[in-house]
Amino acid sequence: MATIGHMKKKIPEGEIPTGLKSWMVREAPAAYGEPMAVSVRTAKDQLSSLLERAALGEDIVITSDGKPKAMIVRYRPVINGAPARSMRELRRSMPMTPDSTAMIRGQRDSGY
C-alpha cells in the first residue's frame, strides 16, 4: 500500500495495529459513546478484566435488574500542595490611587 511521506500507513481492515490487543479494537466505540453496562454477575466473574479496562480510561456501569447501581472509572489521584495564601495584606500595602506613578517609581528606585 503506497503512502505519501506525511500520511500514516493505512492498516488493512481486519488487521490489528501494533501494540493493541483484539479486545481494545472491538470495544473502542464503547469508549467514546455511552459507558459499557455490565450486570453484577458478569462484573463478579470478570472483575480483573473490567479493572484493566477502567485503568485504560473506559467507564463501566454495573447494573442490577437492568438499572445502573455503580460505576468503575479510572483512578485519578488527588494532588495536594501547599495551601493558598491570602493576598489581602499585599493588596492593602498597595492602595489604589488615580495615579500610581509615584508608588511604582518609589518601588523601582528602592530596589524592591
**Number of separate domains in the chain:** 1
Cell 472491538 locates to 26
Please check whether residue 19 lies inside any domain of the structure. no
Answer yes or no: pTM beyond 0.85: no
Please check whether residue 105 lies inside any domain of the structure. no
How many whole angstroms separate alpha carbon 109 and alpha carbon 112?
A: 8
Residue type, 37: A
Encode pLDDT of 56-98 as tens digits. Answer: 988 999 999 989 999 999 988 877 777 778 888 888 887 777 7
How many whole angstroms separate alpha carbon 32 and alpha carbon 52?
A: 17
Please check whether residue 1 lies inside any domain of the structure. no
CATH label of the domain that carries residue 64? 3.40.1620.10
Please check whether residue 52 lies inside any domain of the structure. yes
